A = this chain, B = another copy of it.
Amino acid sequence: MSMTMSELAAKTGIPRVTISRVLNGFKYVSEETKSRVYAAIEENGYEPNLLARSLVLQKSNLLAFVVPDIHLSFYSEMIDLVEQGAMAGGMHLLPFNSLFDPAREQRILSVASQLRVDGMILVPVKTGDTMANATSLKSVRHKLVIFDYHEAASHTTVGMDNWKAGYLAVERLRQLGHRRIAMLEGGLAEESKVQSARGRGFRAAVQELGLSPAQCPVFSGPWGKRGEYFEYGYELTRSHMADFRRLGVTALFAFTDGVALGAMRALMEAGLRVPDDLSIVGCDDLDFAAFLAPPLTTIRQPREAMAAGLLAGLNADRISHTKFDPIFVERGSSAPPRKGKG
């Protein structure tokens, strides 16, 4: 077992209180004493007990960041960015992965709460239950910022404007000349506000920009337990290939890049070329997007800005709602439709 502060004190002859004071940056300690203390700590490999410290301080310096799928580069990059900021403020970031599972999320919320985290950033899995959980926790103890979800008026929210992302996809594809655009929506659109917002933006754009809803269908399918985007996009595309042909669809908008990748593979297997036969636009600008063949046109989330917004939201006293604009990144998977189509 590691030694305690008292033991360190006994061993070195330095009073326990003095050690504590040095560790807490207390002013009235002589430089000489300070160095003696640091030397003693170093020499004996003493490590303060965060548990005890947090208990008396009523502050753990812990921040929780709960994401639904840590493996998505979007979230893992956000975690890295937020962590840097947290560390600069002397906090530690604990990342958690809810895997889109409400029960799991519930457990995570509970653990984090019992660990007495000082703050939490949460990407809720669904609306009802989770928000209730989160709300109860928030009112109880820590700061809470809802990320990626914009309809929680009772909490600070930060995220990209997902509605705009869906809108932007249609707008840009239309500018390229496309008139028949299909969307691959998420299988959790009922539950996930992120997914549904993108779909709503898409539908709104179709209406407002004078396209035909009948020619711009939104497809979705059953969602696996985890975020199996590739498989999902692949299967969904295969099962609607006939619809694309029948409707003369010339462009596809996938609600996230992973789905776009799966779709691309399905199209290629069917002998269709991207973007010659069909344009594809993804969303999120995940790490692999630029490296596909062809490189994926996508809608990027402004991560750095959002990370800063998250931290700011955590520190703020008042509730706020911040939406960041999506960024259209044009790459090789989109092009004007071929003549005779669209």
Contacts of A115 in B (CB 8 A): 50-51
Determine which of B50, B60, B99 lies in contact with A116 in the assembled complex, contact meaning CB atoms within 8 Å.
B50
Sample (13) of A-B pairs whose CB atoms are under 8 Å apart: A1-B58, A45-B136, A47-B110, A47-B140, A49-B55, A51-B60, A55-B55, A71-B76, A80-B99, A95-B96, A262-B291, A265-B292, A268-B293
> Residues 283-320 of chain A: 1 if any B CB is under 8 Å from the residue's CB, otherwise 0?
00001101111000000000000000000000000000
Query: Are B287 and A264 interface neighbours, CB within 8 A?
Result: no
Q: Given contacts A51-B116, A92-B111, A95-B96, could you give 6 more A-B pairs where the C-beta distance is less than 8 Å?
A: A1-B58, A45-B140, A50-B114, A70-B95, A79-B97, A230-B288
Task: Report if A141-B71 is in contact (Cβ < 8 Å); known contacts: A95-B97, A114-B50, A291-B262.
Answer: no
Contacts of A224 in B (CB 8 A): none
Contacts of A262 in B (CB 8 A): 291
CA distance A97 to B78 in the complex (A): 12
The residue on B at minimum CB distance from A139 is: B45
CA distance A112 to B116 in the complex (A): 16
- Give the top 5 A-B pairs by smallest Cβ distance, nearest first: A71-B76, A50-B114, A230-B291, A2-B140, A51-B55
> Residues 96-112 of chain A: 1 if any B CB is under 8 Å from the residue's CB, otherwise 0?
11010000000100110
- Asked if A328 is at the interface of the complex by the 8 Å CB criterion, the answer is no
CB distance from A103 to the nearest CB of B (A): 11
CA distance A233 to B2 in the complex (A): 44
User: Oligomeric state, in number of copies?
Assistant: 2
CA distance A138 to B213 in the complex (A): 63
Determine which of B80, B96, B113, B234 lies in contact with A291 in the assembled complex, contact meaning CB atoms within 8 Å.
B234
CA distance A108 to B118 in the complex (A): 18
Query: Are A114 and B45 interface neighbours, CB within 8 A?
Result: no
Interface residues of A, dominant DSSP: helix
Q: How many residues of chain A get a CB closer than 8 Å to chain B's CBs? A: 53
The residue on B at minimum CB distance from A114 is: B50
CB distance from A36 to the nearest CB of B (A): 22
- Asked if A73 is at the interface of the complex by the 8 Å CB criterion, the answer is yes
CB distance from A82 to the nearest CB of B (A): 12
The residue on B at minimum CB distance from A142 is: B2
Interface set, chain A 223-279, CB cutoff 8 A to B: 226, 230-231, 234, 261-262, 264-265, 268
Contacts of A291 in B (CB 8 A): 230-231, 234, 261-262, 265
The residue on B at minimum CB distance from A140 is: B2
Contacts of A51 in B (CB 8 A): 51, 54-55, 60, 115-116
Interface centre among A114, A226, A261, A268 (most CB of B within 10 A): A114
CA distance A94 to B112 in the complex (A): 10
- Asked if A88 is at the interface of the complex by the 8 Å CB criterion, the answer is no
Interface centre among A2, A58, A288 (most CB of B within 10 A): A288
Contacts of A77 in B (CB 8 A): 71
Interface centre among A50, A80, A226, A264 (most CB of B within 10 A): A50
